[in-house]
Structure 1
Amino acid sequence: MRYQSTLAANTFSGQTIIITGGGSGIGRCTAHELASLGARVILVGRTQSKLDKVAAEIGQDNGLVDSYSLDIRDEEAVSNCVSRLIDNHGVIHGLVNNAGGQFPAKMESISKKGFEAVIANNLTGGFLMSREVFRQSMKKHGGAIVNITADNLNGMPNMGHSGAARAGVENLTKTQAWEWGQYGVRVNAVAPGWVNSSGFDTYDESMKAMILNLKDHVPLKRVATEAEISSVLCFLISQGANYISGQTIRVDGASSLGSSSVVCPLSNKEATNSNSFSGFHRAELPKVFDTTNK
């Protein structure tokens, strides 16, 4: 089997595209889709073993792939890695700033260290990657950048540090699009809602009940598949999006439209005509949703 993308075969043939956080979740799925469409995918992440696993999968599917272990918060390391990558592969055509992470916490309990760590993961690292890719390749050759944010339209209760960082990413996207557009560089952001990915398994037992009930707070009555996020990322990198820049695309099943479930509660009835798309042939069900062994 191969990835079932909605884009045309060979859409990215001959292109080199970097994906940070490519060792799991949305990054892993996007890497597979891009590779299936002909791109040479460059996986970037902190854990080489995770990158190796995804690289092996893509290789088995006859895709082109390379990987670099890197802490994107380290300015010198980012600059050196991008330089080495260009030496090895030439022009960088696309960058997906997907790496990030957070932990649940109420605002009053977040320490300065914890707050700054989440800002560095979700905002500073993406800025450094974008800046170096622009400086070293895209300023001369053009390209497309997609930054990943989150469903923070109405704040992010219990994850205020992440919400602040993601809001920064959205504003950064607009500034990058304005300043770099004259060089043929497009920059957009994608704001996923809740996604059925391995990220759910990083939370502790106390979060499981909340995760299982997330669908009840989405008008489409379900969470997204990884492929439904990846398809938008890939489109924004493709030529079909050549006049889209500085925008944030929300892929959240309309959940961000409700400011509060108390103000406008959703009904308890099952949704109709809300079908999942899952073109990712290697998709893995998060353990929290696996009922086969319970």
Structure 2
Amino acid sequence: MINLTGKVAIVTGAARGLGFGIAEKLVNLNATVIINDIDKAGVDAAVKTLEQNDGKVFGYVCNVANEQQVNEFVDQVLTENERIDILVNNAGINRDGMLHKMTSEQWKTVLDVNLTGVFHMTQPISKIMREQNGGRIINISSASWLGNVGQANYAAAKAGVVGLTKTAARELARYDVTANAICPGFIDTDMTRGVPEKVWDMMVSKIPAGRAGKPEDVANCISFLASDQASYINGEVINVGGGMVL
């Protein structure tokens, strides 16, 4: 059984949805969990909920697209906890639009959060993990990294996350730090619930499992990658999508 007692984990974009499900799973496995999000009310609510389950959880407001905020956040977490063992780069947004209609603002906003934000978090924390000779970096990419109609910005960012993950895996392996990417398929979250019913039905029809995924489906995979049992799994891109990508 996986037990993360003594491990300090950061989960970005964890106020709700997939990020919250990931944080909840890590709390249940006895990790100290740092919830990060730009939504203060959401962070406070998430911390309150998880504390009721006797979890050791703390919340911080930080925009991963802002390098200064990230560095201050990481410094504070390290000062208060003395180590950082697990980083889950989950924070992400979408600003969908067909390629010929997409604005530069839509493009830049998504890249800033979904790709540059992953770099902002990974760079300082990778230094910490190198010095402590151990750590787990788990990046949330997407099945859309292979390309998806209306998501040129999102797909490009998520493909970039895969490349960043594989580079980190090569550079950090000698320090007992692993870096892996998870590509969720169609997961039932606040983001996906906003799509029209016809689109929802179409997406589910493409999934051999016959249902949308749940946050815990992704969280279960993350909990294994975060554990000591996964110490020899590095640089992998793992689809969690009920067979949607085969």
**TM tier, shorter chain?**
over 0.9
**Residue in 2 aligned with 1:40?**
32
Structure 1 residues without counterparts, runs of 5 or longer: 1-6, 258-294
Report how far residue 153 of structure 1 moved.
Answer: 5.2
Segments of 4+ in structure 1 off by > 4 A?
Answer: none
Query: Could you list the per-position Cα deviations for residues 180-201 of structure 1 after superposition, in whole angstroms to 9, with x for gaps in the alignment?
Result: 1111110000000001122223
Q: Distance in 2 between matches of 1:113 and 1:199?
A: 20
Q: Distance in 2 between matches of 1:173 and 1:153?
A: 13
Query: Could you list the per-position Cα deviations for residues 239-276 of structure 1 after superposition, in whole angstroms to 9, with x for gaps in the alignment?
Result: 1111001001001122123xxxxxxxxxxxxxxxxxxx
Query: Could you list the per-position Cα deviations for residues 194-224 of structure 1 after superposition, in whole angstroms to 9, with x for gaps in the alignment?
Result: 01122223x36xx332013321111222111
**Alignment equivalent of 1:185, drawn from 177, 184, 204:** 177
**Alignment equivalent of 2:231, drawn from 232, 242, 262:** 242
Deviates more, 1:147-156 or 1:79-88: 147-156
**Alignment equivalent of 2:131, drawn from 132, 140, 159:** 140
Q: Distance in 2 between matches of 1:152 and 1:208?
A: 20
What aligned pairs does 1:141-180 form with structure 2 within 5 A after superposition? 141=132, 142-152=134-144, 154-180=146-172
Deviates more, 1:158-167 or 1:218-227: 218-227
* 1:50 equivalent in alignment to 2:37: no
* Contact 2:11–2:33 (CA under 8 A) maintained in structure 1: yes
SS in 2 for 1:18: strand
What fraction of aligned residue pairs are identical, expressed as a percent?
29
Query: Could you list the per-position Cα deviations for residues 126-171 of structure 1 after superposition, in whole angstroms to 9, with x for gaps in the alignment?
Result: 1110101112x21111200000000125411111110000000001
User: Normalising to structure 2: TM-score of the pair?
Assistant: 0.96
Structure 1 vs Structure 2 CA RMSD: 1.2
Deviates more, 1:210-219 or 1:166-175: 210-219
Q: Distance in 2 between matches of 1:223 and 1:84?
A: 37
Q: Report which of the two has the higher share of helix.
A: 2
SS in 2 for 1:210: helix
**Residue in 1 aligned with 2:200?**
211
Counting matched residue pairs gives 245
* 1:28 equivalent in alignment to 2:20: yes
Structure 2 residues without counterparts, runs of 5 or longer: none
* Contact 1:21–1:99 (CA under 8 A) maintained in structure 2: yes
